[in-house]
Amino acid sequence: MYELEKNNDNTMTLNMGPHHPSTHGVLRFILEMDGEIILSVKPDVGYLHRSIEKIGERVTYPAFMPYTDRVDYVAAANCNVGYALAVEKLMGIETPERAQYLRVIVSELNRIISHLLMTGVLAMDLGAYTPFLHAVREREKINDIFEILCGARLTYNLATIGGMPFDIKETTIRKCLEILEGLKKFLKEFDDLVTNNAIFISRLANIGVIDKETAKAFMLSGPNLRAAGAHWDLRKNETYFLYDRFKFDIAVGSGKAGTLGDSYDRFSVRMKEIETSISILEQAFKSLPSGEVQAKLPKTLKPPKGEVYVRTESARGELGYYIISDGTAKASRIKIRTGSFAAISILDKIGRGLMLSDLVAFMASLDLIAPEIDR
Amino acid sequence: MNNIAITLHNFIIENFGIDINLSLAISYFLIALIFWSFLGVIGGLLTFLERRVAGRIQSRIGPNRVGPQGIFQMLADGIKLVLKEDLIPALADKPLFRMAPYLCVIGVFSALVVIPFSSDIVVADLNVGVLYALAITTMVVMGILMGSWASNNKWSLLGGLRSAAQIVSYEIPAALSVLSIVLITGSLSMQDIIRAQGAWPHQWFFFHNPGTFVAFFIFFTSALAENNRVPFDIPEAESELVAGYNTEYSGMRFSFFFLAEFANVFIISSLAVIFFFGGWQIPHFLISENHIITNIIMIANFLFKTFVFIFIVLWLRWTLPRLRVDQLMTMCWKYLIPISFICLCITASFVLFFGGKSMIAVFIGRITQ
C-alpha cells in the first residue's frame, strides 16, 4: 500500500497508550513510525490482568460464575452461558430445554449489544461521535430487558450450572419484540448515517486486509474470521444449546467496498449479525417451550476427574473454557480462550505500512476489548 | 462614513477638545475593545450553541442548568478554565509555549477588522480587505505549529504538522474561489463586494453564474478545512492524536485555542455570507429614515445569515466522520484546486461576455426580448 523504507535514523517511537482514547481500555502499543506511516506495532498487554484463571482454582464451580462476567464485560452473558455449558459437560448434566432456549435468547441479545457498541465505537474512532451515542441509546433499551431478566445491566451473572436462575415472562417477551422492531428501524437509520457514508467507506475499504489463510494462521475467530470469507460459525458448525433448531445464515464478508477481508467487511459482518440475531430471537420467542429452567443438582458440585474443552460463539469470536477437574469442589485449572487475545496478535503483521489513522480504524474493526485480552 | 473609529474620533474631538493623536488612540482602543469582546462573546456563545446542537443531534439535552436554557454555561466554562492550573510541561519550550495561543487568537480576531456588519459598521474598510482577511487568518497556523512544537510531545507534533500542511494547502482553493468574486466586483474591499450584490437571492453572487455557484462550495469546504472542523479535523483528531496540537495545554491557554477555533467559525461563516450571500444587504422597503434602525436591521440580517452557516458547520461537525490525512491532501490538490480554476475561468468568461450581469438577469433579458 505505502512504500516502506526502513530508515533507522528517521523513525520515531510513539507510545500509544496505556491511556489513549482509541485503545478503549488500558492497552498499550509501541509504534515505530516514519512520519505518519507505521513501521511496526508492538502490543503491550497485561495492564488489565486480574488473575481470573487463578481465581478459578480457588473458588467452587458455581462461585466462579460472577468472575466470568469480567472476562468480557460487553458480552458478559455469552461468557456466563459458555462457562455453565462447560461445567455441565464436565459433570454430564442434562439442561432443561426451556433453559437452553433462554440461553440462546440472552446470548443473542448480548451479541446485539456487543455489536452495537462495536459499530458505534468504530464510527467514533473515525471521528463521528453521533453514531456512537445513537448506538448506545439502542443498547440501553436491550440493557433494560436484561435488567428485567436478571437485575443487572452490564455484568449479568445470569446463568447457573444446570440451567438459568430466572424465567422469562410473557410481558417481557412482548417488550423485547417491540424493542427488536425499533432496532430494525434504527439499523436502517444507521445505514444511512454511517454504512453508506462515502467518507466512512473510504476510511475503511482496503484498509487492514486479512485474507482467509492469514486469519486462520493467527487463529482469528468469530466475525473477524467470517469477514475474511470463511464460513465458520460455531453456532452452526458445532451446534451447542439448541442452535440447530433455528434457521439463520452465517454472515460472511463480501468485499463489496474494496477487498475481501478489509475493515469495512469486518464492520458489515457485524451489522449483518445484528440482523441474524434479531431473526434468531424472533424464532426463539415463537417456539419457546414450557417447563423447568433448572436441572436438579446435588448441593455441592463435585465433577468427576477429567477435563473438558467447550467453545461457544461469543460476540468477539470463539470463547473457550478448558477445565481440568481433580474430583474436588474446586477446579484444578481453568483456562479461558478469548477472541480478542488472538486478534491482537495480528496487529503487527497487518499494521505495518498503515497510517496512524488507519491503525485506529483497523483496531476498532477488530473489536478488541482490553479485559478480554488480559483476563 | 465607512470607518466608525474615525467617526468616534471626530465625536471626541468635537465634544472634548483633546489632542488629535490621543483622541485617535482612544477611539481605536475603544473600538478594538468593543469588537474583541463582541467576538469573545460570540465565541463563547458558539461553544454553548455547539453543545446544545450536538445534544439535539445526539438525542440528548445538553447543558441546560446554568441560566435560562443553560446560556450562562459558557461563563461557567470560562471561569472554570481560567481558574485551572496553567500547566507547562517541564521539557517544553516555555516562551514559545506561552506565546502560541495568543498568535492563534490574534490571527482570528484581527480578521474581524474587515468584516462589515452593516453599511456603516466596520472597523476599517480596507481596500485590500479580501487579501487581508485571507492573509491574517493564516497566522493561526503559526500559533498551532508553534504550540505543537513547543509542547515537546509527539502527538502534538503530529497534530501540528498535519495542521500546517492542511491549512497552507487549503488557503489556495479558498483564495481562488474568492477571486471569482473579486473578478466580478473589480474590488478587494468587503463593502464594495457587498454593495455589488442585492438583498434578494437572485442578486447574490451565489447565483451570479455557474462558476460562483460552485466556487461557494469550494470556498466553504476549504474554509472548514482551514478551520480544522470535521470532516477535516485531523490536526486535533481526538481518537487518533489524543487532542492533537493542544494536548499539553490546559486552563487559560487551552481556552484561548478553543476560543480562537470558535471565533474562526464565526469568521468563515460571515465571510461566506459577505462573498456569496449579500452580506448586510436589506430590501429597499426596510431602509427607513432613521439611520440607526436601518443599521440595526442590517446587522440583524447579517448575523441571521451568518448563524445559518454556523449551524451548518455545527451540523456537519456532529454528523460526518473525518478524512485521513492523505485523502485530505488528495481532495485539495487533485479536486478542489483544479475545479476552482475552472470556476474562475467560467466567471471570467461570464464577465467578459455578459458584462458582469448575473445569469438570472441574462436569462430574464433573453425571455423579455
Annotated domain spans of chain B = 1-83, 91-368
Q: Render the burial of A197-208: b for 16+ CB within 10 Å, e for the rest.
A: bebbbbbbbbbb
Report the half-sphere exposure of A140 (CA within 13 A, side-chain side): 6
Under an 8 A CB cutoff, do A357 and B237 touch? yes
Q: A-B interface: how many C-beta pairs under 8 angstroms?
A: 78
What pTM, to 2 d.p., does this model score?
0.83
Q: Which of B240, B247, B330 to mutate to probe the A interface, most A CBs <10 Å?
A: B240
Q: Does B230 touch chain A (CB under 8 A)?
A: yes
- Residues B313 and B49: their CA atoms lie apart, in Å, by 11
In this predicted structure, the answer to whether residue B99 has a pLDDT above a threshold of 80 is: yes
Which stretch of DSSP H or E encloses residue A16?
A: strand A12-16
Q: If one looks up domain A62-350+366-373 in CATH, what number appears?
A: 1.10.645.10
Could you give the ipTM of this predicted complex?
A: 0.78
Phi/psi zone of residue A68: left (φ > 0), alpha (ψ -120 to 50 degrees), beta?
alpha
Q: Say if CB A348 and CB A214 are below 8 A apart.
A: no
Under an 8 A CB cutoff, do B158 and A127 touch? no
Mean pLDDT taken over chain B: 83
The proportion of chain B whose per-residue pLDDT surpasses 70, expressed as a percent, equals 97
- Residues A288 and A172: their CA atoms lie apart, in Å, by 13
Q: What is the per-residue pLDDT across B26-35, written as a single tens digit (0 to 9) for each? A: 777 888 888 8
Measure B323 CA to nearest chain A CA, in Å.
6
- Residues B313 and B322: their CA atoms lie apart, in Å, by 14
For helices A97-125 and A263-286, the axis angle rounded to 10 degrees is 150
**Helix, coil or strand: residue A298:** coil
Residue A7: pLDDT band (50, 70, 90) is low
The residue type at B28: Y
- Cell matching residue A285: 420467542
Q: What is the per-residue pLDDT across A288-314, written as a single tens digit (0 to 9) for each? A: 888 888 888 888 888 888 888 988 888
In this predicted structure, the answer to whether residue A3 has a pLDDT above a threshold of 50 is: no
Q: Compute the residue count for chain A.
A: 375
Of A15, A134, A203, the CB nearest to B321: A203
Under an 8 A CB cutoff, do A20 and B242 touch? yes
* A-chain residues near B322 (CB < 8 A): 126-128, 199
Considering only CB atoms, which residues of chain A are within 8 Å of chain B?
12, 14-15, 20-22, 36, 123-130, 133-134, 137, 193-194, 197, 199-200, 202-203, 355-358, 360
- Residues A354 and B326: their CA atoms lie apart, in Å, by 12
Residue A2: pLDDT band (50, 70, 90) is very low
* B-chain residues near A12 (CB < 8 A): 154
Q: Which of A122, A189, A199, A363 to mutate to probe the B interface, most B CBs <10 Å?
A: A199
Which stretch of DSSP H or E encloses residue B362?
A: helix B359-368
Q: What is the per-residue pLDDT across A226-264, written as a single tens digit (0 to 9) for each? A: 888 888 888 888 888 888 888 888 888 887 887 888 888
| Radius of gyration, alpha carbons of chain B | 22
Q: Residue A9: its pLDDT value, please?
A: 67
Q: Residue A20: its pLDDT value, please?
A: 80
The proportion of chain A whose per-residue pLDDT surpasses 90, expressed as a percent, equals 1
Measure B263 CA to nearest chain A CA, in Å.
22
Q: Residue A32: its pLDDT value, please?
A: 85
Q: Residue B28: its pLDDT value, please?
A: 78
Q: Does B330 touch chain A (CB under 8 A)?
A: no
Q: Render the burial of B127-162: b for 16+ CB within 10 Å, e for the rest.
A: eebbebbbebbebbbbbbbbbbbbbebbbbbbbbbb
Q: Compute the residue count for chain B.
A: 369
Q: Does B158 touch chain A (CB under 8 A)?
A: yes
Q: Residue A1: its pLDDT value, please?
A: 40
Q: What is the per-residue pLDDT across A315-373, written as a single tens digit (0 to 9) for each? A: 888 888 999 988 888 888 889 888 888 888 888 888 888 888 888 888 888 888 888 88
- Cell matching residue B300: 440583524
From A337, A97, A80, A329, select the one nearest A219 (Cα to Cα): A337
- Residues B324 and B232: their CA atoms lie apart, in Å, by 8
Of B162, B321, B325, the CB nearest to A199: B321
Q: Residue A347: its pLDDT value, please?
A: 85
In this predicted structure, the answer to whether residue B91 has a pLDDT above a threshold of 80 is: yes
In this predicted structure, the answer to whether residue A52 has a pLDDT above a threshold of 50 is: yes
Range of weakest confidence among B27-31, B169-173, B228-232, B275-279: B228-232
From B162, B186, B210, B244, select the one nearest B343 (Cα to Cα): B210
Q: Residue B246: its pLDDT value, please?
A: 80
Q: CA nearest B328 in A: which residue?
A: A199
Q: What is the per-residue pLDDT across A93-133, written as a single tens digit (0 to 9) for each? A: 888 888 888 888 898 999 999 999 888 888 888 888 888 88
Q: Residue B239: its pLDDT value, please?
A: 67
Residue B298: pLDDT band (50, 70, 90) is confident
In this predicted structure, the answer to whether residue B1 has a pLDDT above a threshold of 70 is: no
